[in-house]
Structures are given as C-alpha cells and as structure tokens.
Amino acid sequence: MVTVQRSRCPDAVALTDGMRHFTYAELVAIAARVAHVLRGKGIGPGDTVALCFVRSTEQVLALVGTLASGAAAAPFDVRHAATAVRENVTRLAPAAVLADADGAELFPDALRLDGLLAMDGGHHAHRPPPRRGARRGRRRVRCPGPGRYRR
C-alpha cells in the first residue's frame, strides 16, 4: 500500500510528528534500508522482529521496514514497565530486536534505527512543514484520493 501510494504521489507527506515530515518516497527509501539490514542479518519471512520504541515516527519507520523484509513485527512501547517489556520480548524469542535509544537501554544488543536515519543525513529533523497550497513554481496535479496533489 505504501509503495503504491509512493508511485502515485512520491512527494506527498506520508508521516509526520509535527516537527519532522517524511514523504512517501522517503518512507519507502528508509524502509528499504531497514529491510536490507534485516535481510543482511538473515531475517526474513517466518521470522519475528521485536520493535522496542517509544511511540514515534521511528517506530512507524521500523514497522514498515520490518514488514518490507518479510518478517513479522511485534511492537513494544518501552515506556511501559521495563520488566514486563523484557519478559514479553524474551517470551516472544524474536530473531532480532530493533530499538531506538530508549529501547536500547532495555536491550543493549538491539539493532539501532537511529544509525539508519543518520545515513540519510538527518535532514528531516530541521525541515519546515510543507506549506498548504504552496506551488513552488511547479504545476500541481491532483492524485487519486481526497485532497492529494502531486507536483
């Protein structure tokens, strides 16, 4: 579904947390890097990856990337009781744990998503939100779906 939307409107905002904005093209590119790293570790269809994050855009990026690798994703919010999260992840026995900085405190051997975002130059952190109705000198084309435009 994400890749279909990327082909229709690659520059449309797919994911935002109010500060950072990811277009469909960027979301698919980051998800592909996550999937590539997981596949490089031998993780794919039939495997499960525990996602240990606080609720954030990073959690969504990890989820999409994990699913792109063919593995199943089991998200855990690390703000919940640490003991319960550790027990549940241990009981799950995932092929890998993918985490942000908070999740890495619980699982020091986890794969870190922030390294993959840093490879992207981290330009999302300072990008201003897109202006509504901004033309930026290009013609706008209506994409399928309500209120979607392609430049």
Q: Determine the Cα–Cα distance for residues 47 and 12; give it in Å rounded to an integer.
A: 32
To the question of pTM greater than 0.85 for the whole model, the response is no
2-124 CATH: 3.40.50.980
Q: What is the dihedral of CA 104, 105, 109, 114, to 10 degrees?
A: 20
Helices (H), 70-136: 82-92, 101-106, 113-118
List the chain domain ranges. 2-124
Q: If DSSP codes are grouped into helix, strand and coil, which group holds residue 111?
A: strand
From first to last of the 151 residues of the chain, give the pLDDT tens digit: 666 666 667 788 888 888 888 888 898 999 999 999 999 999 999 999 999 999 888 899 999 999 999 999 999 999 989 999 999 999 999 999 999 999 999 999 998 887 666 555 444 443 444 555 444 444 455 565 555 555 5
